[in-house]
Amino acid sequence: MPLNIPHNLPAVEILKQENIFVMDVLRASKQDIRPLKVALLNLMPIKITTETDFVRLLSNSPLQVEVDFIKMKDHRSKNTSPEHLATFYKNFEDIRKDNYDGMIITGAPVELLEFEDVTYWTALQEIFNWAAKHVTSTIYICWAAQAGLYHFYNIPKYPLEKKTFGVFKHKINDASVALTRGFDDEFYIPHSRHTEIRKEDISKAPALKLISESEESGVHIVMARGGREIFITGHSEYAPDTLHNEYMRDLNKGLSIDMPVNYYKENNPEKGISVKWRSHAHLLFKNWLNYYVYQATPFDPKEIEYLDDLKE
């Protein structure tokens, strides 16, 4: 089944040009099937780009998925129009009483701040706690992964001397985990961050399992509660030109930035981009939807809250 999203979402036309099939809500409503409900809390400044990145991956599944886009109520977006937000986004208060099969919480450009100094930190903690009881499986991406690990398991983040920026080789630590089923022994993932979480801290937390890591970029995937929480430090969802756009942006600002590692053909921006992560990105989200959302979710979404196993 294709993805079930509003027919006028900008991502629809972009994905049609990429030959990706999406289904609008009018057509999907005629099918006698309950779609999986996935919430996407979008903390990124350029929301349309992030929407497209995740819709692209969620659409590559035989399962029908209905996506609700969520924003922080009191955070004003400088890069996305109020009209777009009003048309396509809900506030957390709008979904507080609902249950979801899956949830994705994106990164945010606030990683150099202490968590408590982020203006919406308290509100975000409330969403984290809500997701633990109302969502079957939640993926936390990049800064959100660091934030979630800090909030739930007191795992600190550390500033890096130099930005981790590029496409890095990774390995799987446990081949029996369904999330990475079908992955090659070595695979590539983009990273773009100024901070890190460390393996030694993860290993001290009995509730956490390190699924994937890289010799160059460190911790990649951490899992907790049997996959109800999945923390991913990299950006599998990135489009081919995302790192290039970040690189050009920083160069134009006169910032000190190294060329993204293992990204351009022959390390020459004029020769184009070598895309090495696309197939594993699709497989990662397909596995998540299948094994951790579809096969784990109750038939009645109202039963999700009874699956919670957090200590009160």
* pLDDT tens-digit map of 21-36: 555 444 444 445 678 9
Per-residue pLDDT at 158: 97
* pLDDT tens-digit map of 76-89: 767 678 888 889 99
Whole-structure pTM value: 0.86
Q: Which two tokens stand for residue 122?
A: 């308290």
Per-residue pLDDT at 29: 47
Q: Specify the residue for token string 């004003």.
A: 76
Per-residue pLDDT at 121: 97
Domain ranges for the chain: 3-162+191-240+278-307
Given 111, 134, 142, 191, the catalytic residue: 142
Q: How far is 138 from 214, CA to CA, in rounded Å?
A: 23
- Residue of 207, 50, 67 lying closest to 144 (CA atoms): 50
Taking only Cα atoms into account, the Rg of the chain, rounded to an integer number of angstroms, comes to 19
Q: How far is 71 from 275, CA to CA, in rounded Å?
A: 30
Q: Is 305 a catalytic residue?
A: no
Given 66, 196, 237, 280, the catalytic residue: 237
Q: Is 75 a catalytic residue?
A: no
Which superfamily is assigned to 3-162+191-240+278-307 in CATH?
Class I glutamine amidotransferase (GATase) domain (3.40.50.880)
* pLDDT tens-digit map of 126-163: 999 999 999 999 999 999 999 999 999 999 999 999 99
Residues of the chain with pLDDT under 50: 1, 19, 24-31, 299, 301, 306-307, 309-312
Q: Where are the beta strands (DSSP E) in the chain?
A: 3-5, 22-24, 36-41, 65-71, 89-91, 100-105, 135-141, 158-172, 186-196, 208-214, 218-224, 229-232
Q: Is 142 a catalytic residue?
A: yes
**How far is residue 209 from each of residues 172, 176, 204, measured CA to CA in Å?**
12, 12, 10
Residues in the chain: 312
Per-residue pLDDT at 298: 57
